[in-house]
Amino acid sequence: MASTLRRARFALTGHSGAELTLIEADGETFVRKRARAPEHSRRLRQQCDKLRQAHAAGISCPAVYRIDDSDGLFSFDMEFVPSDSLAHALISGREPDWGVLLPQITGLTARYHDTAQGDIPASLFLAKLDAIVAGCAVNAAALEDLGRIGAAVAEVKKRDWSGIPASQSHGDLTLENLLVQQDGRVVFIDFDVPEQSSWWLDIAKLFQDLSGHWCLRHLVLGDPEGIEALNAQLAMSRAMARVGSGLTDDLPGGTDRLAPLVAFHLLRTLPYARNPLVVDYVLQRIGAVLDG
């Protein structure tokens, strides 16, 4: 009698807009990432290609096993990594070993630093800020705060946008995309293909969570005065105190150059917000970041 092979599927929570499914089949466990609509397939294929290239270059990230676009929706299967995201660990009160963790993160940004060639024109950032305002003007969740959004964009535009190096980058280096295994090894996931690619923007993405508290939005909005939200905010402050200088030491201008980049990342979320409370939260965090 032929043995029965276990087949199981578990939906995972992701933030990229693609479907994520953990699959156990034929003795293999892997994660399938699939476009939700045909128009999303091209970008997902680019992300898959970038992940493959990173893995081939020796960066600690999941291996890609298979790709498929036979039904018009691009998908790829990748290695399943048992781990916890750095965001979840900090929110849950688990302090990581920064002595092990930080060199792995700075090692990645240093690797991208070495690929820098020329600068990104400041005009591209200013044009993107204008596009953010236009996107918010057709987003129902942002309509009541268009004045505040315009004021925030105007303030960010005043900052120095010159000399930002163009380089290879992870593209979405948030705390949610850093998986920490039990031995302290970091696995980087969800490589993205941004409009502007720079190792500076990778560092700013980390601070989008550390100082901008983006990864805390649902927790804080659910119960702003609750002990879990307060502890999570304290955890981000502690983490920033532990790793801040290590991440910004090589950034010319330090925190003065970092703040508008963090605000830029936060502003980019607003055209896609579906809750006015999220818009208000992001604008509050932008104010806190720019005020230092």
pLDDT tens-place string over residues 40-95: 999 999 999 999 999 999 999 999 999 999 889 999 999 999 999 999 999 999 98
The secondary element (H helix, E strand) that includes residue 144 is: none
Q: Are residues 116 and 245 in the same domain?
A: yes
Q: Over the stretch 191-245, which tens digit does the pLDDT of each residue have?
A: 999 999 999 999 999 999 999 999 999 999 999 889 999 999 999 999 999 988 8
Domain match, 187 and 104 both: yes
In Å, what is the CA distance from 171 to each residue of 47, 112, 186, 189, 211?
A: 10, 11, 17, 10, 18
Domain's final residue, options 43, 60, 79 = 79
Closest CA to 230 of 137, 238, 132: 238
CATH at residue 180: 3.90.1200.10
User: What gap in Å lies between CA 57 and CA 97, rounded to an integer?
Assistant: 26
pLDDT tens digits for range 118-160: 999 999 999 999 999 999 999 999 999 999 999 999 999 999 9
What span, in angstroms and rounded, lies between the C-alpha atoms of 241 and 19? Answer: 35
- The count of domains in the chain is 2
Question: Do 264 and 232 share a structural domain?
Answer: yes
Task: Tell me: pLDDT of 98 over 50.
Answer: yes
Domain that holds residue 171: 84-291
Q: What pairs with residue 186 in β-bridges?
A: 180
Compute φ and ψ for 19, nearest 5 degrees: -80, 135
Distance CA 180, CA 89 (A): 9
